[in-house]
Structure 1
Protein backbone atom coordinates (compact mmCIF):
# COMPACT_ATOMS: atom_id res chain seq x y z
CA UNK A 1 0.00 0.00 0.00
CA UNK A 2 1.48 3.33 -1.03
CA UNK A 3 1.25 6.01 1.59
CA UNK A 4 1.94 9.63 0.73
CA UNK A 5 4.91 11.17 2.45
CA UNK A 6 4.12 13.56 5.28
CA UNK A 7 5.35 16.51 3.22
CA UNK A 8 2.87 15.88 0.41
CA UNK A 9 -0.23 15.31 2.55
CA UNK A 10 -2.63 18.23 2.65
CA UNK A 11 -5.20 18.66 5.40
CA UNK A 12 -8.68 19.55 4.21
CA UNK A 13 -10.26 22.14 6.48
CA UNK A 14 -14.00 21.54 6.20
CA UNK A 15 -14.96 24.54 8.34
CA UNK A 16 -12.92 26.82 6.09
CA UNK A 17 -14.55 25.34 3.00
CA UNK A 18 -18.00 26.04 4.46
CA UNK A 19 -17.08 29.62 5.32
CA UNK A 20 -16.03 30.27 1.74
CA UNK A 21 -19.24 28.74 0.36
CA UNK A 22 -22.84 29.87 -0.04
CA UNK A 23 -23.91 27.65 2.86
CA UNK A 24 -22.26 30.22 5.14
CA UNK A 25 -25.08 32.75 4.71
CA UNK A 26 -27.60 30.96 7.00
CA UNK A 27 -24.88 30.48 9.64
CA UNK A 28 -24.02 34.19 9.45
CA UNK A 29 -27.67 35.24 9.72
CA UNK A 30 -28.35 32.91 12.65
CA UNK A 31 -25.20 33.98 14.50
CA UNK A 32 -25.82 37.68 14.07
CA UNK A 33 -29.47 37.16 15.02
CA UNK A 34 -28.35 35.53 18.26
CA UNK A 35 -26.06 38.48 19.02
CA UNK A 36 -28.94 40.88 18.37
CA UNK A 37 -31.43 38.92 20.52
CA UNK A 38 -29.01 38.74 23.43
CA UNK A 39 -28.30 42.47 23.22
CA UNK A 40 -32.03 43.25 23.17
CA UNK A 41 -32.59 41.08 26.25
CA UNK A 42 -29.68 42.54 28.21
CA UNK A 43 -30.75 46.11 27.38
CA UNK A 44 -34.44 45.48 28.05
CA UNK A 45 -36.00 42.69 30.08
CA UNK A 46 -32.67 41.53 31.51
CA UNK A 47 -31.91 44.98 32.87
CA UNK A 48 -35.36 45.24 34.44
CA UNK A 49 -35.10 41.77 35.99
CA UNK A 50 -31.60 42.50 37.32
CA UNK A 51 -32.99 45.42 39.34
CA UNK A 52 -35.05 42.94 41.36
CA UNK A 53 -31.99 40.93 42.42
CA UNK A 54 -30.11 41.20 45.70
CA UNK A 55 -26.89 43.18 45.63
CA UNK A 56 -24.74 40.02 45.46
CA UNK A 57 -26.90 38.43 42.77
CA UNK A 58 -26.95 41.68 40.79
CA UNK A 59 -23.15 41.82 40.91
CA UNK A 60 -22.89 38.24 39.67
CA UNK A 61 -25.47 38.96 36.97
CA UNK A 62 -23.51 42.02 35.83
CA UNK A 63 -20.28 40.02 35.65
CA UNK A 64 -21.91 37.23 33.65
CA UNK A 65 -23.60 39.78 31.38
CA UNK A 66 -20.21 41.31 30.62
CA UNK A 67 -18.74 37.88 29.87
CA UNK A 68 -21.67 37.07 27.60
CA UNK A 69 -21.42 40.41 25.82
CA UNK A 70 -17.69 39.95 25.29
CA UNK A 71 -18.17 36.44 23.92
CA UNK A 72 -20.97 37.57 21.59
CA UNK A 73 -18.84 40.42 20.27
CA UNK A 74 -16.05 37.93 19.57
CA UNK A 75 -18.51 35.73 17.69
CA UNK A 76 -19.82 38.74 15.73
CA UNK A 77 -16.26 39.74 14.87
CA UNK A 78 -15.49 36.23 13.64
CA UNK A 79 -18.68 36.14 11.56
CA UNK A 80 -17.93 39.53 10.00
CA UNK A 81 -14.42 38.38 9.11
CA UNK A 82 -15.79 35.27 7.45
CA UNK A 83 -18.39 37.29 5.55
CA UNK A 84 -15.68 39.66 4.30
CA UNK A 85 -13.68 36.68 3.08
CA UNK A 86 -16.71 35.06 1.48
CA UNK A 87 -17.62 38.24 -0.40
CA UNK A 88 -14.07 38.77 -1.61
CA UNK A 89 -13.45 41.88 0.48
CA UNK A 90 -10.50 40.13 2.13
CA UNK A 91 -8.12 37.40 1.07
CA UNK A 92 -7.72 34.20 3.06
CA UNK A 93 -4.34 35.48 4.26
CA UNK A 94 -5.88 38.74 5.48
CA UNK A 95 -8.61 36.81 7.29
CA UNK A 96 -6.04 34.51 8.90
CA UNK A 97 -4.08 37.54 10.10
CA UNK A 98 -7.15 39.24 11.56
CA UNK A 99 -8.59 36.00 12.96
CA UNK A 100 -5.58 35.63 15.21
CA UNK A 101 -6.78 38.78 16.99
CA UNK A 102 -10.19 37.24 17.77
CA UNK A 103 -9.74 34.73 20.58
CA UNK A 104 -12.63 32.35 21.09
CA UNK A 105 -10.59 29.92 23.17
CA UNK A 106 -9.97 32.10 26.22
CA UNK A 107 -9.58 30.62 29.69
CA UNK A 108 -12.94 32.09 30.74
CA UNK A 109 -14.64 29.98 28.07
CA UNK A 110 -13.69 26.91 30.08
CA UNK A 111 -14.46 28.28 33.57
CA UNK A 112 -17.21 26.66 35.56
CA UNK A 113 -19.96 28.99 36.79
Structure 2
Protein backbone atom coordinates (compact mmCIF):
# COMPACT_ATOMS: atom_id res chain seq x y z
CA UNK A 1 0.00 0.00 0.00
CA UNK A 2 2.75 2.49 0.95
CA UNK A 3 4.80 1.66 -2.14
CA UNK A 4 1.78 2.33 -4.35
CA UNK A 5 1.09 5.64 -2.57
CA UNK A 6 4.61 7.09 -2.92
CA UNK A 7 4.65 7.68 -6.72
CA UNK A 8 1.41 9.66 -6.31
CA UNK A 9 3.13 12.08 -3.94
CA UNK A 10 6.79 12.08 -5.00
CA UNK A 11 8.04 12.48 -8.52
CA UNK A 12 11.45 13.25 -10.05
CA UNK A 13 12.14 16.70 -11.43
CA UNK A 14 12.45 16.87 -15.18
CA UNK A 15 16.00 17.48 -16.39
CA UNK A 16 16.37 21.16 -17.15
CA UNK A 17 19.28 23.51 -17.69
CA UNK A 18 17.53 26.15 -15.58
CA UNK A 19 17.07 23.80 -12.61
CA UNK A 20 20.71 22.69 -12.83
CA UNK A 21 22.04 26.27 -12.99
CA UNK A 22 19.82 27.42 -10.11
CA UNK A 23 20.93 24.44 -8.00
CA UNK A 24 24.59 25.31 -8.60
CA UNK A 25 23.99 28.99 -7.77
CA UNK A 26 22.12 28.02 -4.62
CA UNK A 27 24.90 25.69 -3.44
CA UNK A 28 27.59 28.30 -4.14
CA UNK A 29 25.59 30.97 -2.32
CA UNK A 30 25.14 28.74 0.72
CA UNK A 31 28.82 27.82 0.75
CA UNK A 32 29.81 31.50 0.54
CA UNK A 33 27.43 32.37 3.38
CA UNK A 34 28.88 29.63 5.57
CA UNK A 35 32.43 30.70 4.80
CA UNK A 36 31.67 34.35 5.65
CA UNK A 37 30.07 33.28 8.93
CA UNK A 38 33.21 31.37 9.93
CA UNK A 39 35.32 34.44 9.13
CA UNK A 40 33.19 36.58 11.47
CA UNK A 41 31.31 38.62 8.88
CA UNK A 42 27.76 37.89 9.95
CA UNK A 43 24.70 38.73 7.94
CA UNK A 44 22.71 41.64 9.29
CA UNK A 45 19.14 40.43 9.17
CA UNK A 46 15.80 41.91 9.97
CA UNK A 47 12.60 40.71 8.42
CA UNK A 48 10.91 44.07 8.05
CA UNK A 49 13.43 46.86 8.75
CA UNK A 50 17.02 47.15 9.87
CA UNK A 51 16.85 47.23 13.68
CA UNK A 52 20.62 46.75 14.01
CA UNK A 53 21.44 49.94 12.10
CA UNK A 54 23.44 52.31 14.30
CA UNK A 55 22.84 55.30 12.03
CA UNK A 56 20.07 57.73 12.93
CA UNK A 57 16.94 56.57 11.13
CA UNK A 58 15.55 58.99 8.61
CA UNK A 59 12.09 60.38 9.24
CA UNK A 60 10.66 59.30 5.89
CA UNK A 61 11.46 55.60 6.41
CA UNK A 62 8.50 53.39 7.12
CA UNK A 63 8.91 51.41 10.34
CA UNK A 64 6.80 48.30 10.61
CA UNK A 65 6.59 46.15 13.70
CA UNK A 66 7.23 42.44 13.32
CA UNK A 67 3.70 41.62 14.39
CA UNK A 68 2.06 43.87 11.80
CA UNK A 69 4.57 42.84 9.15
CA UNK A 70 3.83 39.17 9.71
CA UNK A 71 0.09 39.79 9.51
CA UNK A 72 0.54 41.83 6.34
CA UNK A 73 2.75 39.17 4.72
CA UNK A 74 0.93 35.98 5.73
CA UNK A 75 -2.77 36.88 5.55
CA UNK A 76 -2.93 37.26 1.73
CA UNK A 77 -1.05 33.97 1.28
CA UNK A 78 -3.51 32.23 3.61
CA UNK A 79 -6.49 33.71 1.75
CA UNK A 80 -5.07 32.60 -1.61
CA UNK A 81 -4.70 29.10 -0.16
CA UNK A 82 -8.35 29.09 0.86
CA UNK A 83 -9.52 30.37 -2.51
CA UNK A 84 -7.42 27.76 -4.30
CA UNK A 85 -9.58 25.03 -2.77
CA UNK A 86 -12.63 26.47 -4.52
CA UNK A 87 -10.87 27.17 -7.83
CA UNK A 88 -8.88 23.92 -8.11
CA UNK A 89 -11.26 21.45 -6.48
CA UNK A 90 -10.98 18.66 -9.09
CA UNK A 91 -7.24 17.99 -8.95
CA UNK A 92 -5.15 14.97 -8.03
CA UNK A 93 -4.13 13.96 -4.51
CA UNK A 94 -0.64 15.50 -4.70
CA UNK A 95 -2.02 18.92 -5.63
CA UNK A 96 -4.68 18.83 -2.89
CA UNK A 97 -2.02 17.85 -0.34
CA UNK A 98 0.24 20.71 -1.46
CA UNK A 99 -2.41 23.41 -1.16
CA UNK A 100 -3.60 21.90 2.13
CA UNK A 101 -0.13 22.02 3.66
CA UNK A 102 0.49 25.57 2.42
CA UNK A 103 -2.86 26.82 3.65
CA UNK A 104 -2.37 25.23 7.07
CA UNK A 105 1.16 26.65 7.26
CA UNK A 106 0.06 30.20 6.50
CA UNK A 107 -2.96 29.86 8.84
CA UNK A 108 -0.55 28.85 11.60
CA UNK A 109 1.63 31.88 10.82
CA UNK A 110 -1.36 34.23 10.92
CA UNK A 111 -2.41 32.78 14.28
CA UNK A 112 1.13 33.12 15.64
CA UNK A 113 1.31 36.74 14.60
CA UNK A 114 -2.14 37.52 16.02
CA UNK A 115 -1.22 35.90 19.32
CA UNK A 116 2.04 37.83 19.69
CA UNK A 117 1.73 40.37 22.43
CA UNK A 118 2.55 43.88 21.27
CA UNK A 119 5.51 45.43 23.10
CA UNK A 120 4.55 47.43 26.14
CA UNK A 121 6.15 50.74 26.91
CA UNK A 122 7.73 50.71 30.35
CA UNK A 123 7.88 53.94 32.30
TM range (shorter): 0.3 to 0.5
Q: Greater helix share, 1 or 2?
A: 1
Q: TM-score, normalised by structure 1?
A: 0.38
Q: TM-score, normalised by structure 2?
A: 0.36
Determine which structure has more spread, i.e. the larger CA radius of gyration: 2
